[in-house]
Amino acid sequence: MKTFEKILLKNMEQPGYAGSLAEYERAGGYQALKKVLGRVPPADVIDTVKQSGLRGRGGAGFPTGVKWSFIPRDHPGPRYLCCNADESEPGTFKDRQLMERDPHQILEGMAIACYAIGAQTAYIYIRGEFRLAATILERAIVEAGRAGHLGADIHGSGVTVNVYVHAGAGAYICGEETALLESLEGKRGKPRTKPPFPATHGLYQQPTVVNNVETLANIPHIINRGGAWYAAIGVPPKSPGTRIFCLSGHVKRPGNYELPVDATFRDLIDDLGGGMRSDKPLKAFIPGGASAPFLTPEHLDVQLDFESVARAGSMSGSGGVTVMEDGTSMVWAALRLMEFFYHESCGKCTPCREGSAWIVQILQRILNRQGRPDDVRTLEDICGNIGGRTVCAFGDAEIAPVQSTLKYWRSEYEALIAEAGALNAGRKDIPVLSVS
């Protein structure tokens, strides 16, 4: 694996680095903010981010600079920035590390983003369980305000940026940007029908940008070193930069790893992760959080960029890579993920609300050796009637585990159903598939 420079985790690798304001400033922190305030027109800041090719790191991968440019410049009322720190995607824990270990990197990125879009108020919508991260962020906001990096008339520029931390109630659906906005307004977190889009009708029906934690943490580095510098990393022009990948499951060294996206899953799992934790070979891995379709050992040499993973039949998503060893029942894996999605469905859309329950019931029946001959076809029909038929992408996300396991491991479903048929016929000589 080739050598490369880390961007987001670089500070944390300094001995004793704890993320205080003084330490962040010694590492060059808040220089990017000073560089642009009152000196670089907001439109030029947006153009720099566009040039960098930075794409959203929360899952969708939408170009960040383009999203910023959608905010109407002539809007007479307030505009808002919302930092999506909900991070509820199973297998994903990078944003938590960024918030707990280097909070000022995020705050500086937010201040620059607010300047670029003309917002004076920003919110960090944080997952309710992240109490330590929320405390650290609130302390960092106070530190930054006392130093003049946040608040009114920042560094004498006439620019005002106030940042507030808002804790959610632990709902997965609030990772979807419009559900996040609904929750932030004090309503039940359910996705909005679009259009209109948040760029024109977001928080309190005002122009709003919603960006992920990792996305915003990249901004100071892009401003300091230029859009062309960032665009040259990874797989330009569509997938530049580095990403933090959350490696978990049956590997020897789970954890967060920052890599340029021209690296491969083999680099991540075998080189950095140390390979499989036992002598069993790799059977499957999820490349981008629980909502990403499973991939197989044949995909280990796929690059980590958005397009390569999409061509392989999955998505980079949130960067959560979960590894499973040989002997894991893929029907069981699909059920565990579906139970999560069923629990987290907001209930707004009938296909998702009802379909997720049906899928869970069928998978439970199959695993309990009570499967029926037509269960596989029924699962496919239900998935086909959920995908693309819901207000948000949750419906597509929840069927990914079932569709991908049926694609690669259909024989496991059929074996369990055949076993059920044999048991019902009084035969008990067929071996039972182990469930890890």
pLDDT digits (tens, 9 = 90+) for 318-330: 999 999 999 999 9
Domain assignment present for residue 225? The answer is: yes
Find the helix or strand (DSSP H, E) in which 321 lies: strand 320-325
Measured distance CA(124)–CA(146) in Å, rounded: 19
Do residue 298 and residue 385 come from a single domain? no
Do residue 369 and residue 224 come from a single domain? no
Q: What is the pLDDT at residue 433?
A: 45
Do residue 311 and residue 364 come from a single domain? no
Residue 208 has pLDDT above 70, yes or no: yes
CATH code assigned at 96: 3.40.50.11540
Residue 436 has pLDDT above 60, yes or no: no
Q: Give the domain-ending residue among 232, 265, 299.
A: 232
CATH code assigned at 390: 1.20.1440.230
Q: What is the pLDDT at residue 59?
A: 82
pLDDT digits (tens, 9 = 90+) for 65-113: 999 999 999 999 999 999 999 999 999 999 999 999 999 999 999 999 9
Do residue 203 and residue 318 come from a single domain? no
Residue 435 has pLDDT above 50, yes or no: no
CATH code assigned at 285: 3.10.20.600
Domain assignment present for residue 430? The answer is: no
Do residue 58 and residue 164 come from a single domain? yes
Q: Do residues 250 and 325 lie in contact, with contact meaning Cβ atoms separated by under 8 Å?
A: yes
Q: Give the domain-ending residue among 262, 291, 325.
A: 325
Do residue 269 and residue 297 come from a single domain? yes
Q: What is the pLDDT at residue 426?
A: 62
Q: How many domains, in total, are found in the chain?
A: 3
For residue 191, whether the previous peptide bond is cis, meaning omega lies within 30 degrees of 0, is no
Q: What is the pLDDT at residue 432?
A: 47
pLDDT digits (tens, 9 = 90+) for 352-369: 999 999 999 999 999 999
DSSP secondary-structure letter at 193?
A: P
Domain assignment present for residue 154? The answer is: yes
- Residue 226: pLDDT band with limits 50, 70, 90: very high
Do residue 183 and residue 140 come from a single domain? yes
Domain assignment present for residue 2? The answer is: no
Residue 430 has pLDDT above 60, yes or no: no
Domain span including residue 272 = 241-325
Q: Give the domain-ending residue among 188, 214, 232.
A: 232
Domain assignment present for residue 436? The answer is: no
Do residue 271 and residue 212 come from a single domain? no
pLDDT digits (tens, 9 = 90+) for 121-141: 999 999 999 999 999 999 999
Do residue 352 and residue 378 come from a single domain? yes
Do residue 77 and residue 221 come from a single domain? yes
Q: Which of 318, 269, 261, 317 is nearest to 296 (CA)?
A: 269
Rounded mean pLDDT of the chain?
Answer: 94
Q: What is the pLDDT at residue 219?
A: 98
Q: What is the pLDDT at residue 423?
A: 81
User: Cα angle at 263 between 275 and 177, to 5 degrees?
Assistant: 100
Read off the pTM: 0.92
Residue 45 has pLDDT above 60, yes or no: yes
Mean pLDDT to the nearest integer, 293-310: 96
